[in-house]
Structure 1
Amino acid sequence: MKEHYTGTATNRVDGRAKVTGEAKYAAEFEVPDLLYGVVVNSAISKGKITRIDTSAALALPGVHQVFTHENRPGYTWLDSHYQDEDSPPGSPFRPLYNNEIKFSMQPIALVVADTFELARYAALLVHAEYESQPHETDLEANLPKAYKPKKYKSPPPSDPRGDAPGAFAAAEVKLEEAYAHPAHHHNPMEMHASIAIWQESGKLTIYDKIQGVQNSQKYISNAFGVPQEDVQVISPFVGGAFGSGLRPQYQLFLAVLAAKELKRAVKVVLTRQQMFSFGHRPFTIQRLAIGASADGKLESISHNAFAETSRFEDYNEDVVIWPGVLYNCENVEVSHQLVGLDVYTPLDMRAPGGTTGTFALEIAMDEMAYKLNMDPVEFRLKNYTDKDLNKDKPHSSKELKECYRQGAERFGWAKRKMEPRSMKEGHQLIGWGMAHGAWEAQQQEAAAKAVLSPTGKLTVSSATADIGTGTYTVMSQIAAETMGIALEDVTFELGDSTQPKSPLEGGSWTVSSVGSAVKLVCEKLQEQLLKLAQKMENSPFSDAKIEDVSFENGQMFLTQAPATSISLQAILAQDEGQPLEAEASQKPDKKQKNYSSYSHSATFVEVKVDEDLGTVKVTRIVSAVAAGRIINPKTGRSQILGGAVWGIGVALEEHTVLDHTIGRFMTHDLDKYHLPVNADVHETDVIFVEEKDEIVNPLGAKGLGEIGIVSVAPAIANAVFHATGKRIRELPITLDKLM
């Protein structure tokens, strides 16, 4: 009987390596003759370095060099050389390019020494003098300077449909409010780190914390003028990233610069404080105007977003696509404007744009439901859409109604009283809230290689990443099931730029993209096995076509005559014991262009708010998710749990505080940047709604990384309103806003 590995809850194949420390992260590889680099950061947020004195640091025995803008090598510094696969439009930051300071904590020097401790001490002795210039870091104060970029990183906001202002003016029920969330920082457990190893041949081997080794490879090749084939980037394990590792960060550039100049191996690891010096979810203000008929039919939606970006790049996200994806409304207008500030360019952070846009839209829809005196679920069902109205395309599959039904039933939503402050337990005000969300299910082109050994062991590889999501495991499951062999006979390898091409690991497209390539390359192996079997004397497979055979339990057999079988090892023996190899590249099917594909979620939340103290506890979450075929329900559930925990953080805790006087993020450690801990996380129930999709990709899987977070924060905010009667439109929901 064939093992059905996909769809089965399976332990991580890399689990033991992670819990025993066998798994190596970027900074943990042992390299002989290693030097250590420590970054020196700027003390101002805008201006120029007028003098930088490195003499005291260089005087210390064991300090090899202090790299600054004054002595950095003369590489080609064209913008195009420093762009990467995740670069937004503009001019990428180039470390040590000149004496100009563009943002607070900009790297201005790298001290390289025999030991980390010596390098860290020497970094304290580097003295810089500045000519400060007036800086601007306040988004609200600079809203009048908002602009529409000439080019968007994400697709530009869709054109208006109908007459939103006119329909709003005529609507019987109206809502017009502003919503805001602060900057957030990724804060993965593993800090960004790189080890660059220079070889006498001029080649470079690099261990890097990155979500796409081939992105780092291209970046280094272009920036340093090294042939791409002479740069190998390795990253087998990533200790969390959440988008922070999509772009190569400055420690990579500095480590390679030092290694090339000193002809040595150099390690550079950023500190936790330095992790706040690049990239973040941007502070965003959103204005929504919604009009509806008295019976609850949406008649007008205007959704306008204003977000920060740097002075040198135009970063934007899909903040305003969600009205057209989630709701049926004929009159819609949206816009996304940017405000250039003296900060580093924002960076994709779990469900970029979705977490932000859905938060505002779903609170606004809850407000409208209350204006109409309609149950929030009933109001959403009233305005349900079967089409993606942004693209005017049907969905490849959409089981959102089942998410509502199953989630509400599991939660007990029917027992909810509509009136705020109507549910109570002692001094605890009880609130029930809900929200729904979506995340685009995309497939990117990806490639994979498969090698089947004479002993029947299968090794499959692709240059993708595993940022903790379970890539090793699900790819092994797909390969084992496709080839009809035991899971323990499969090894999946990743995180090496010499492996077959893979997109960045992000956007919830890894299973869809790399998984489809893994399935295809295994099918190519099957074709080769059949050809070998046909060469055997008196072969019962001589007239068989690939569609006539099946693979199970390490055997190939005629589907219509299962007794006619042969082991894969016996087939390989016909080829003088040589391993069988195949490579395959999988592109999205053209038919996908006729459809819109999204994962969907409906999240139901219970909160308890102390009526005297204003403290908020999220006591129950039910998250119902429709995401196509779930390859591994165990690791998939973990993805949704992680999104729920992060949603608690977004709603109640996360807030990177910017001191506009000095233009610096002040919450730059895990002591003051608050995240949910065990005591904050209570009962969380995950429902995977059955959903079949034959369009989205050959596996029918839609991805789970992002969909788990998008609807959690607004559901919590709506539950807080139900508990207290106070509508909080600016995150996080803290005591001062409730009291």
Structure 2
Amino acid sequence: MTTPTGSPVASGRPLSRVDGPLKVTGRATYTADHHADNLVFATLVDATIARGTVDSIETTAALQQTDVLEVITDFTGVTLPFDPKQVQSYGQPIAVILAATSEAALHGASLVTVRYTEAPQQTNLHDAAAPAEPNTRTPDYSRGDPEGALAAAAVVSDLHYDIARNHHNPIELSATVAQWNGDRLTVHDKTQGVPQSQASLARAFGIPVENVRVICPFVGGAFGNALKVWPHELLTAFAARRIGHPVKLVLTRKQLYHVVGFRPASSQRLAIGADRTGTITSIINESSIESSRYEHYLEQTALYARFMYDSPNMRSTARLVPLDINPPAPMRGPGTVTGAYAMECAMDDLAHQLGVDPIDLRLRNEPAVDQSEGLPFSTRRVTECFRRGADAFDWSRRNQVPGVTREGHLLIGYGTAAAAYHTLTADSSAVAQANADGTFEVRSATLDMGPGTYTSMTQVAADALGVPMSRVRFALGDSDFPPAPLHGGSMTMASVGSAVHTAGNMLRDRFIRTSILDPRSPLNGVRTDQVDVVDGRMFATDDPTRGETYQDLLRRRGWNALDSQQDWDAGDAAERYSMWAYGAVFAEVAVDELLGTVRVRRMHACYDSGRIINPKLAHSQAIGGMVGGIGMALLESTHLDYRDGKIVNANLADYLVPVNADIPALDAEFLPAEDMIADPLGVKGLAEVVIVGVPAAVANAVFNATGKRVTELPITLDTLL
């Protein structure tokens, strides 16, 4: 990463969030905080069957209530992903209540009576009658003769792994505030992609994309469930146009389970064969995940097993099971955390059968290239992650014989797992602007749902411009800003950061070129490569007394500001290299022999995630990923009543997530690294990889503690008694 010589380097420093004071003082405005004059409140009436036809909607009782203004049952004029009269999942919106208060809207919704004609439905992934379809995003893959090699293998692990449906449950509920001004629509929305939401809204209403503005300065957690526009967002805008007033809709916690997406339930077969030395000879991975019948969600569960370990023979298939449910959605580590759970548990099972250390088995089968794509790795330091992580965790204390290490009635176990996640990049844009008052503003239509985008982008911009961070303001969350990709897939730093880096560099260079060509400048005639910038002052390298500030130039020219908008092209690196972030995760658990309860005592992980722009934020991301992974391993499970598709634990009392008492000592370290093939900053994705190996590491630790190989997540006490 190039920086002006001698400039203060902000990147790499463990700085606190620049938006922290706004959040801790309550001055950060989230979507539901937005107010508008003559605001009307909306709520949804949800279907109470999984499949069928709406015969009638009785609204009289609702309309008789004080403050209820209208009940909308006809959605002509907006394109929805389903026919509102044809119910295709429990909780599907079928009417919108508009009222003067949110309380009146909710009460009004409870008074609406809907009559249906029910149709045969299917909501259970594991029902044998549910038909499977190919996952077109992950076509079937094979190399060598995996079946023959598995049959001939000296040692085989061949197990089935099931993961329950998980829901995101961010603290901020999904919310939308929509207002029309003629044929122009302004939407304050909880989203992970303002340009993408802008385009979706324009399509739904058949208006030019430039007539839509989407604003989202703060996101109170999302984890993937705000990566697309859901029906409630479209209906809020539709209701606003219908009633002629701004409309606010905030989903209830219960509706969050039925109206937006979730991590789909999955089932996998993972078979590995090896010779007596531990050399893998065959891998077979067959996966199926639940999906909506009317809108497929294509999750790539199969990629991890295809490339992670060296094997001449490999086959993988991925199938969707269309059900009468609302569409699933990405959830932290989408697809990869699912595939890695089966693969990493299978590696642990194989190591146990071979009588070798699980780390040694992985290192023996470290690939030289990505066999699935025939590509070299941009970087791959899994071996170093395991060695450094094992030393820090004190892995040598692990007893290889399961079920023998105890403290009284507690069985103690150690587990480990590798982690990997695609390093994704996408074309991005940013504008950097220098103002006459000495401040700088950098803008891009990206978002910050928690990783610290405001802060890390400010660091990158300050370095590129050669100015202190205190003088830089990074603005995001507005579709009027230069376009950016979706805020997901761990691509923001690599993509938007590269655009910010480029825009800052180009603005700095524009100042330098303007200065050396200006007869009135002290730098007139100096070559561009002989000018440095420190604290916003340009000076000659061989004569630091000869120089001027950015402000000096702006004042002399009579300019209020100077800017540079730049596009960063992700290029074709992903076609020439296999680009992933990696990690090694370690867990210690204590299992109560009498009660079957599992407690994670401590976790440590070591990651190869390229250049770390802000170690403090990166560590926070790693801890958050571990917490989510612990939840996935031990607590989180969505329970459906398969008679009608209703989620029976659609609340934070019954859907269990980790709380302080569940979280032990967690720590993470990062290898000093950079991946200059991936992007000019040398960064890799981080937010996804930090959850990927966690469920498997916990499950492997449970086996080491008890000798019981539990292959269903979450691991509940009844499976261990």
In structure 2, the partner of 1:604 is 586
Aligned residue runs from structure 1 range 571-650, under 5 A: 571-650=553-632
Residue number in structure 1 paired with 2:294 = 312
Measure, in 1, the Cα distance between the counterparts of 2:657 and 2:193.
Answer: 26
1:286/1:560 CA distance change after superposition, 3 Å: farther
Structure 1 position 593, deviation (Å)? 2.9
Please state whether the residue corresponding to 2:378 is helix, strand or coil.
coil
Look up the match of 1:89: none
Secondary structure of 1:145's aligned partner:
coil
**Counterpart AA for 1:298:** I
Corresponding letter in the other structure for 2:305: P
Question: Is residue 2:381 matched to residue 1:399?
Answer: yes
Distance in 2 between the 1:193 and 1:163 partners?
51
Give, in angstroms, the shift of residue 686 of structure 1: 0.7
Distance 1:202 1:589 in 2: 37
Offset of residue 175 of structure 1: 1.5
Q: Which residue in the other structure is 2:209 paired with?
A: 228
- Which position in structure 1 is the counterpart of 2:126? 140
User: Are the counterparts in 1 of residues 422 and 685 from structure 2 also a CA contact under 8 Å?
Assistant: no
Provide the rounded CA distance (Å) in 2 between the counterparts of 1:468 and 1:591: 28
Q: CA separation of 1:303/1:673 partners in 2, compared to 1, >3 Å: closer, same or farther?
A: same
Identity of aligned residues (%): 40
Is 2:630 the partner of 1:656?
A: no
Q: Which whole-Å deviations, capped at 9, do the CAs of 1:514-558 have from their partners, x for residues lacking one?
A: 000001011111121012212333656444454433221221123
Q: CA deviation at 1:562?
A: 3.9
SS of equivalent residue, structure 1 residue 504: coil
Alignment of 1:269-288 (within 5 A): 269-277=250-258, 278-288=260-270
- Partner of residue 308, structure 2: 326
Residue among 638, 650, 675 paired with 2:657: 675
Paired AA for residue 105 in structure 1: G
Counterpart residue number, 1:87: none
Match of 2:3 in 1: none
State the Cα distance separating 1:655 from its structure 2 match. Answer: 0.2
Distance 1:41 1:545, change over 3 A: farther
8 Å Cα contact 1:37-1:255 kept in structure 2: yes
Shift of 1:648: 0.5
Distance in 1 (alpha carbons) for counterparts of 2:531 and 2:680: 19
How far 1:191 moved relative to its partner?
0.5
Which residue is 1:73 aligned to? 76
Decide whether aligned partners of structure 1 residues 178 and 143 sit closer, same or farther in structure 2, where only a CA change above 3 A counts. farther
Name the CA distance, whole Å, in 2 between partners of 1:230 and 1:170. 64
8 Å Cα contact 1:397-1:691 kept in structure 2 = no
User: Take 1:142 and 1:34, find their aligned partners in 2: how far apart are those partners?
Assistant: 49
Match of 2:169 in 1: 187
Aligned partners of 1:275, 1:545: CA distance in 2, in Å?
A: 59
- Greater shift, 529-538 or 116-125, is seen at 529-538
Task: Tell me if structure 2 keeps the 8 A contact 1:213–1:464.
Answer: yes
Provide, for residues 352-401 of structure 1, a one-character-per-residue CA deviation record: whole Å limited to 9, x for no partner.
Answer: 01110001110011000011101000000000113211111111111211
Q: 2:706 aligns with which of 717, 724, 734?
A: 724
Q: Say whether the 8 Å CA contact 2:516–2:528 is kept in structure 1.
A: no
1:115 corresponds to:
101
Q: Is the 8 A contact 2:710 2:719 kept in 1?
A: yes
The answer on 1:264 being equivalent to 2:250 is no
TM-score scaled by length of structure 2: 0.97
Equivalent residue letter for 2:75: R
Give the corresponding residue for 1:486: 468
Distance 2:42 2:671 in 1: 50
Do structure 1's residue 59 and structure 2's residue 64 form an aligned pair? yes
Distance 1:371 1:559, change over 3 A: farther
Partners of 1:386 and 1:398 within 8 A in 2: no
Alpha-carbon offset, residue 652 of structure 1? 0.2
- Select 1:21's aligned residue among 5, 9, 26: 26
Secondary structure, aligned partner of 1:142:
coil
Given the two structures, how large is their TM-score scaled by the length of structure 1? Answer: 0.95
Change (3 A) 1:252 1:545: farther
User: For 2:139 and 2:119, how far apart are their aligned partners in 1?
Assistant: 35
1:396–1:559 CA distance, 2 compared to 1 (3 A)? farther
CA distance in 2, matches of 1:343, 1:26: 27
Q: 2:352 aligns with which of 366, 370, 381?
A: 370
| Structure 2 CA distance for aligned equivalents of residues 497 and 316 of structure 1 | 27
Counterpart residue type for residue 413 of structure 2:
G
Give the SS at the match of 2:557.
Answer: coil
Q: Contact 1:399/1:691 (CA < 8 Å) preserved in 2?
A: no
Query: Are the counterparts in 2 of residues 182 and 282 from structure 1 also a CA contact under 8 Å?
Result: yes
Partner secondary structure for residue 344 of structure 2:
helix
Per-residue CA deviations over 1:148-176 (Å, capped at 9, x if unaligned) read: 14x32xxx246311110011111111121
Distance in 1 (alpha carbons) for counterparts of 2:108 and 2:700? 52
Q: Which amino acid aligns with 2:202?
A: S
Task: Say which SS state the counterpart of residue 465 (structure 1) adopts.
Answer: coil
Q: Does 1:245 align with 2:226?
A: yes
What is the alpha-carbon distance in structure 1 between the residues aligned to residue 598 and residue 21 of structure 2?
A: 37
Q: 1:143 to 1:175 in 2, by over 3 A?
A: farther
Contact persistence 2:122–2:130 (CA under 8 A)? no
Does residue 1:477 correspond to 2:459, yes or no?
yes
Q: 1:433 aligns with which of 415, 437, 454?
A: 415
Matched residue SS, 1:564: strand
Give 3-state SS (helix, strand or coil) of 2:141's partner. coil
**Cα gap change, 1:2 to 1:491, in 2 (>3 Å):** same
Name the amino acid aligned to 1:512. A
For residues 192 and 144 of structure 1, do their structure 2 counterparts lie closer, same or farther at Cα, with a shift above 3 Å needed? closer
1-side partners of 2:130 and 2:112: how far apart? 40
Shift of 1:72: 2.6
Partner of 2:40: 35
The 3-state SS of whatever aligns with 2:326 is coil
Q: Contact 1:302–1:334 (CA<8 Å) still a contact in 2?
A: yes
Counterpart amino acid of 2:214? V
Matched, 1:301 2:306: no
TM-superposed deviation, 1:348 = 0.6
CA distance 1:548–1:397, shift in 2 (3 Å): farther
* Aligned residue in 2 for 1:48: 53
What is the rounded CA distance, in whole Å, between the counterparts of 1:115 and 1:393 in structure 2? Answer: 58
Unaligned runs of 5+ residues in structure 2 are 1-5
Letter in 1 for 2:335: G
Counterpart in the other structure of 1:218:
199
Deviation at 1:573, TM superposition (A): 2.0
C-alpha offsets along residues 46-77 of structure 1, whole Å, 9 cap, x if unaligned? 11111111122223343221111xx33344x4
- Determine the structure 2 residue equivalent to 1:290: 272
**2:87 is matched with which residue: 93, 101, 105?**
101
**Cα RMSD for the two superposed structures:** 1.4
Q: What letter is aligned with 1:460?
A: V
Q: Is the 8 A contact 2:31 2:175 kept in 1?
A: yes
Identify unmatched segments of 5+ residues in structure 1.
Answer: 83-92
Counterpart pick for 2:13 among 4, 8, 18: 8
The letter of the residue matching 2:40 is L
Q: In 1, are the aligned partners of 2:522 and 2:548 still within 8 Å (CA)?
A: no
Equivalent residue, structure 1, for 2:111: 125
1:711 corresponds in structure 2 to 693
1:340-359 equivalent positions in 2, closer than 5 A: 340-359=322-341
Question: What's the offset of the Cα at 1:228?
Answer: 1.5
CA distance in 1, matches of 2:574, 2:313: 27
* Count of residue pairs the alignment pairs up: 715
Equivalent pair of 1:204/1:232 in contact (CA under 8 Å):
yes
Counterpart Cα distance in 2 of 1:312 and 1:614: 41
Paired amino acid for 1:633? P
